[in-house]
Amino acid sequence: MNKAVIIEIRAGAGGDEATLFVADLFRMYSRFAEKQDWKTTLVNSNSIGIGGYKEVIFEIKGEGAYENFKYEGGVHRVQRIPTTEKSGRIHTSTVSVAVMPVATITELQINPKDIRIDTLRASGPGGQYVNKRESAVRILHIPTGIMVTCQEERTQLQNKEQAMNVLRARLMAKKREQELAKRGDERREQIGLADRSEKIRTYNYPQNRITDHRIKKSWHNLEKILDGDLKPIIKAFNKLKKK
């Protein structure tokens, strides 16, 4: 079983509400990892003042991490009344989640001539180490145009290592997508390979309900699941997979 996974969460439609839901999902996945005694490492984030994120990228290491998270990829939709909404109107926002297994150096080798590495000063909240030196690292994979930035670690070397992990994961995902595209209809038959544009799940706060549209199943303990209790959802997918 793959022991590490890269998860990228990005705000979609819905303005501030979408960024707040990015933070909610980041917390949900982090809490689930914590309950499994897995390690969560923040790779890069773009936070906003109200406690939300436009984007957050992180790595989770633990036995079977990818197996547990692989069905989370796709568009997550949230329906709730924002705290700033005086008329009590329900808002709908979307967030996209990408889940990628971490590829080892032996699984995917990157030609050093194919990448450009830049160093820059880290920005945003990060304690006493941020903005004092050029510890942030940005890597561009020239053939594909894929760019990765990592600024959350204290040293340039650590940030470079994390950025390379994300780059390898993205290149592996791209390779996988290309292979599946060649197979045509087979892709649509595989539950775990949701496209980033495909709506996979709705979190309805007024009705205290989470619905997964791929397996047409709902759960009514929304707060508990958002606090990291993903086991019921994971079990439902594993049960379906065994059929």
* Per-residue pLDDT band at 133 (split at 50, 70, 90): low
Identify the residue with better confidence: 195 or 238: 238
> CA triplet 167, 170, 174: central angle to 5 degrees?
135
Q: What is the mean pLDDT of residues 1-23?
A: 87
Which tokens hold the place of 174? 């791209």
Find out whether 80 and 94 touch, Cβ atoms under 8 Å: no
> CA triplet 137, 45, 133: central angle to 5 degrees?
40
* Per-residue pLDDT band at 15 (split at 50, 70, 90): confident
The predicted-structure confidence for 171-183, as pLDDT tens digits, reads as follows 888 887 776 666 5
Q: Long-range contacts: 30-36, Cβ < 8 Å, 24+?
A: 30/58, 30/228, 31/227, 31/228, 32/68, 32/228, 32/229, 32/230, 33/60, 33/62, 33/65, 33/228, 34/228, 35/228, 36/62, 36/68
Find out whether 27 and 13 touch, Cβ atoms under 8 Å: no
CA-based nearest residue to 56, from 5, 99, 9: 9
Asked whether residue 190 carries a pLDDT value surpassing 90, the answer given is no
CA-based nearest residue to 92, from 199, 213, 171, 215: 199
Q: State whether the Cα torsion 207-89-96-52 is positive or negative.
A: negative
Identify the residue with better confidence: 109 or 160: 160
The predicted-structure confidence for 63-77, as pLDDT tens digits, reads as follows 989 989 989 988 999
Q: Looking at residue 194, what is its pLDDT?
A: 40
Out of 141-145, 176-180, 205-209, 237-241, pick the least confident.
176-180
CA-based nearest residue to 195, from 211, 210, 214, 208: 214
| Dmax (CA) of the chain | 57
Q: What is the mean pLDDT of residues 142-154?
A: 86
Asked whether residue 78 carries a pLDDT value surpassing 90, the answer given is yes
Find out whether 123 and 32 touch, Cβ atoms under 8 Å: no
Out of 43-57, 158-172, 178-192, pick the least confident.
178-192
Specify the domain boundaries for CATH 3.30.160.20 within the chain.
112-183
* Per-residue pLDDT band at 16 (split at 50, 70, 90): confident
Q: Looking at residue 226, what is its pLDDT?
A: 94
Q: What share of the chain is helix, strand, coil (3-state, %, to 5)?
A: 35, 30, 35
* Per-residue pLDDT band at 2 (split at 50, 70, 90): low
Q: Looking at residue 126, what is its pLDDT?
A: 46
Asked whether residue 236 carries a pLDDT value surpassing 60, the answer given is yes
Q: What is the mean pLDDT of residues 42-57?
A: 87
How would you label 18-45 residue by residue, b for 16+ Cβ within 10 Å and e otherwise?
bbbbbbbbbebbbebbeebebebbbbbb
Specify the domain boundaries for CATH 3.30.70.1660 within the chain.
4-103+186-242
The helix (run of H) or strand (run of E) holding residue 161 is helix 156-183
The predicted-structure confidence for 201-233, as pLDDT tens digits, reads as follows 999 999 999 999 988 999 998 999 999 999 999
> Residue 65: what residue type?
A
Q: How far is CA 110 from CA 98, 149, 170, 223, in A?
A: 21, 17, 12, 42
Q: What are phi and psi of 221, to 5 degrees?
A: -100, 65
Q: What is the mean pLDDT of residues 235-241?
A: 81
In CATH terms, the fold of domain 112-183 is Double Stranded RNA Binding Domain (3.30.160)
In CATH terms, the fold of domain 4-103+186-242 is Alpha-Beta Plaits (3.30.70)
Q: Looking at residue 195, what is its pLDDT?
A: 45
Q: Looking at residue 128, what is its pLDDT?
A: 42
